[in-house]
């Protein structure tokens, strides 16, 4: 990357940060009415690949019935990626694909779960939170690894299903380290928007089964993106 490209990227990052700061003031960590009567829950995942020097992405959204856990809808979108990977600014890279896929759904989810962070972010604006302002639905972030903030380490919960430890940074709770299965690595959950952490934890645990440490809709979306990517790359 030459000096001109570096300067251009620096300007873009400042724009991104301004947008995140503006939206972060509008986050609500209170349960919206939709949280109390969830019927359909969506999992969202994005996968990438490169072809002839061009980066592409696919976003899959899988919707399940909250009670029966049966898949009721799924869709995807494919497109060129125009924003490079910049830690802390993932939403600007993935959001166009997410919104394009969401508008193709025939079922309207009451809640979206993202493979990524929400409030657990330096400016509380992970992909799950950022997307909520466009989807207008409660959202949850599910991460398989910890995105370290302010050099703060996390406390690993007891080796017992359902145990957790809050992630506290600067005297504020950003999310939780949750043991979704005994003898399995924990996951890192956080509110996206329009939901509190207690409801987030309850919903995540409700949607865990024996097949995976992450919630069913997110796992299914992850499998779907990988399946589509394989088909396109072959």
Residues belonging to the binding site are 45, 115
Binding residues for Mg(2+): 45, 115
SS3 108: coil
One-character DSSP codes across 30-41: S--GGGGG--EE
With a CB cutoff of 8 Å and minimum separation 6, the contacts of 98 are 44, 46, 59, 61, 77, 127, 131
Q: What is the DSSP letter of 156?
A: P
Whether residue 177 contacts residue 188, with contact meaning beta carbons closer than 8 Å, is answered with yes
SS3 119: coil
Q: How many CB atoms lie within 10 A of CB 89?
A: 22
């Amino acid at each position: 990357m030459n000096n001109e490209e570096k300067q251009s990227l620096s300007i873009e990052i400042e724009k991104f940060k301004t947008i995140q700061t503006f939206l972060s003031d509008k986050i609500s960590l209170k349960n919206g009415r939709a949280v109390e009567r969830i019927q359909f829950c969506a999992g969202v995942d994005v996968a990438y690949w490169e072809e002839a020097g061009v980066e592409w992405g696919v976003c899959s959204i899988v919707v399940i019935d909250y009670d029966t856990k049966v898949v009721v809808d799924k869709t995807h979108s494919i497109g060129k990626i125009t924003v490079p990977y910049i830690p802390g600014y993932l939403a600007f890279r993935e959001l166009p694909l997410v919104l394009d896929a969401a508008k193709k759904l025939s079922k309207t989810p009451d809640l979206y779960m993202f493979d990524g962070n929400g409030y657990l972010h330096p400016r509380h604006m992970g992909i799950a939170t950022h997307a909520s302002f466009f989807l207008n639905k409660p959202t949850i972030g599910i991460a398989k690894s910890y995105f370290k903030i302010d050099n703060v380490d996390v406390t690993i919960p007891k080796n017992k299903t359902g145990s957790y430890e809050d992630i506290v940074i600067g005297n504020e709770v950003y999310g939780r380290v949750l043991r979704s299965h005994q003898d399995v690595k924990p996951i890192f959950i956080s509110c996206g928007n329009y939901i509190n952490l207690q409801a987030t934890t309850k919903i995540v645990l409700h949607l865990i089964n024996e097949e995976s440490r992450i919630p069913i809709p997110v796992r299914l979306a992850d499998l779907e993106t990988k399946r589509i990517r394989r088909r396109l790359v072959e």
